[in-house]
Amino acid sequence: MKKRLLAGTLAFCLLLSGCGGFRDVYEDIFGGEPASSGEPQSQTSLLLPVDIDDSLGPYAAQSDMNLSITSLLFDPLFVTDNTFTPQPCLAESITQAGTGEYLVTLRSDVTFSDGSALTAADVVYSFEQTDLQQKRYWQLHTSVESVTEVDSRTVRVKAYRSDRNIAGLLDFPIVKNGSGTDSLIGTGRYIYQEQSGRRYLTASESNPGASEKITEIELVSMPDDSTLANALRSGVIHCLYTDYAEEADYALGANSYLFELGNVVYIGYSSQNALTSQRQFRTLVSEMVNRDSIVSDIYYNKATPALTPFPAGYYDLPEQEHSDLGDDRIRMELELMGVTLEESGWRSYEDEPVNLSVLVNSENPFRVRVAETVVRYLGYYGIQAEVEAVEYESYLSRLAAGDFDLFIAEVCVGDNVDISPLISGSSVGISGDCSDAQLLEQYYAYCAGTLDCAGLLEQFDTYVPVTPLVYRQGGAVVSPSFQAKMTPISQDIFYNIDEWQ
């Protein structure tokens, strides 16, 4: 989560250290006590954290807490569920109009909170606004060249290549044409209100997606992220978004509803090293590593094993039969490759001792532990290896120079599940070999619909450009008193708020 320290941090911390702590804060704001975890109630209210020094405009907001609120105020053309299936929201339909070109028809029954109708001009304007959030929408801009108006209810999306999941990228919030970055005029389920210092949201009468039970949502000012864990435990706030990117995020609370992020952690290989360039060796490394232990011991069950380059829940993934080779078979296959076990207990290859380095960015403690785990598994099978944890800039420069044997990296495949950076090496700024280029062509054929997923996976297992380990997950962390059963997605933790009981 973004750690944005605000001017009120010290004063708020001093307040919390007093006799009343959060209970006093709650009473000052709401005139009552927070709900006890031992006295569950029906979920008829919702208290959300807000950074009052940050915008609630979707293209100006910087904090995670405010960005999560924007999903209640603004709607996209499509959302992707936890199977990465695009679901229409403001769009009525999408059809392919040529190679890499798509026509999106808008719903005719949508109005903004000021009463004006949704038009194609609003979509074009919103696409232009995504330039202000390059970090968030970089995959949109590397995949989509332009969005232009055809008529008042139709836009043309021109992509750089055909993409079966192009609708997944059209998840950017739609704002009113010319409204500016801080405008809160949206088509969302709720409308922002401010009165006498109180900030809250009210259910939109024109959007059926709001909860019938939660007609108002209170926005509770939080001085900084360091107070969020206590706020959740005390019931000052009910839920918040986290991507579990930092160790502190795991301390927010034990109660969470997980969703797919599309972030895959994987092993990359040098094509210059005599051993790691061998596809058979890469396949054996994949068999050596226990992904379940990485999920439980490193990511505390906030991840899923990656047995293919796609997320485990990906809608187009065929049934997988994973064959566990077992220790004896792995050792036998190593011997057949000529990776011979010596009297020292370590292996040699082509009459040279095998001593591999596993390069990793030292600034990410999770991936460092993944590298250490990989080294332990390699050692179990007699392959000597060591972790080389270096600072980020050095990490990138060494990857670019090919100065590694194996490396640990992480990349987000995005809502269109684009695995091309895994295949090409572009995710970490390296160039793949010619066989990776051949696999990339097969992947583009899959995107264009001329190759099915099973055929692509067969090709992936033939070339083995990388070894996917786990897909990380995010979470909607909730307070002990929170009663609703959430189905969050990465773009909207309140995705099923209309179904909350």
Q: What is the 3-state secondary structure (H, E, C) of 238-297?
A: CEEEECCCCHHHHHCCCCEEEEEEEEEEEEEECCCCCCCCCHHHHHHHHHHCCHHHHHHH
The two structure tokens encoding residue 336:
């057949």
Specify whether the backbone of 244 is left (phi greater than 0), alpha (psi in -120 to 50) or beta: left
Q: What is the pLDDT along the chain (501 residues), one digit of tens a residue?
A: 443 333 333 333 323 333 344 344 434 433 344 443 334 345 678 999 999 999 999 999 999 999 999 999 999 999 999 999 999 999 999 999 999 999 999 999 999 999 999 999 999 999 999 999 988 899 999 999 999 999 999 999 999 999 999 999 999 999 999 999 889 999 999 999 999 989 999 999 988 888 888 999 999 999 878 889 999 999 999 999 999 999 989 988 879 999 999 999 999 999 999 999 999 999 999 999 999 999 999 999 999 999 999 999 999 999 877 778 899 999 999 999 999 999 999 999 999 999 999 999 999 999 999 999 999 999 999 999 999 999 999 999 999 899 999 999 999 999 999 999 888 875 565 655 545 788 999 999 999 999 999 999 999 999 999 999 999 999 999 999 888 889 999 999 999 999 886
Q: Are 372 and 387 within 8 A, CB to CB?
A: yes
Asked if 78-169 and 260-474 have one fold, the answer is no
Q: Cα separation of 51 and 11, whole Å?
A: 16
What residue spans of 6-81 are helical by DSSP H?
9-16, 22-30, 64-73
Tokens describing residue 105: 């028809």
216-221: strand order across its sheet: 47-50, 216-221, 198-203, 190-195
Torsion of the alpha carbons at 188, 45, 248 and 415, rounded to the nearest 10: -30
Look at residues 410, 409, 419 and name the one whose alpha carbon lies nearest to residue 439.
419
**What is the third-level CATH fold of 78-169?**
Dipeptide-binding Protein; domain 1 (3.90.76)
Domain ranges across the chain: 9-53+190-255+479-499, 78-169, 260-474
476 is written with which tokens? 């909607």
The answer to whether the beta carbons of residues 193 and 210 sit under 8 Å apart is: no
Note the CATH architecture for domain 260-474. Answer: Roll (3.10)
Q: What's the predicted TM-score (pTM) here?
A: 0.88
Cα gap 306→321, rounded to integer Å: 13
User: Residue 104 class from Cβ within 10 Å (0-12 exposed, 13-18 middle, 19+ buried)?
Assistant: buried
Chain centroid to CA 121: how far?
29
Pairing of the two strands 355-361 and 406-412 = parallel
